[in-house]
Amino acid sequence: MSVVISDEILQASHLTPSEFCQEIALFLFQTGRLTIGYASQLADMQPNSFRQLLKQRNIPLYSYEVEDFELDLKNLRELGRL
């Protein structure tokens, strides 16, 4: 599938076509809609370069929620490690 972005929208965004794709890829990765592999493909970047871009933007590679932490604590307690 191809998506066409009009020149008018590109001009309004003040981004190049490449930058526009990177912004979409960053957003979709950050919201959990794409994996790093697919996001780097969409951004037309190598995965390591995309990771660097994430780092520059202060976007974490992993999402670690409070629920994840609580589950980890529970499991460690059950294993007798806490």
Torsion of Cα atoms, 19 then 56 then 27 then 48, to 10°: 80
Residue 6 is predicted with a pLDDT of 95
Residue 5 confidence (pLDDT): 93
Q: Where are the alpha helices (DSSP H) in 1-82?
A: 7-13, 17-30, 36-42, 47-56, 66-78
Question: Quick one: tokens of 30?
Answer: 């950050």
- Tell the burial category of 74 from Cβ atoms under 10 Å away from its Cβ (0-12, 13-18, 19+): exposed
CA distances from 12 to 8, 9, 38, 41, 61 (A): 6, 5, 26, 24, 30
pTM: 0.79
pLDDT tens digits, one per residue of 21-73: 999 999 999 999 999 999 999 999 999 999 999 999 999 998 888 998 999 99
Q: Mean of the pLDDT values across residues 1-14? A: 94
Domain ranges of the chain: 7-79
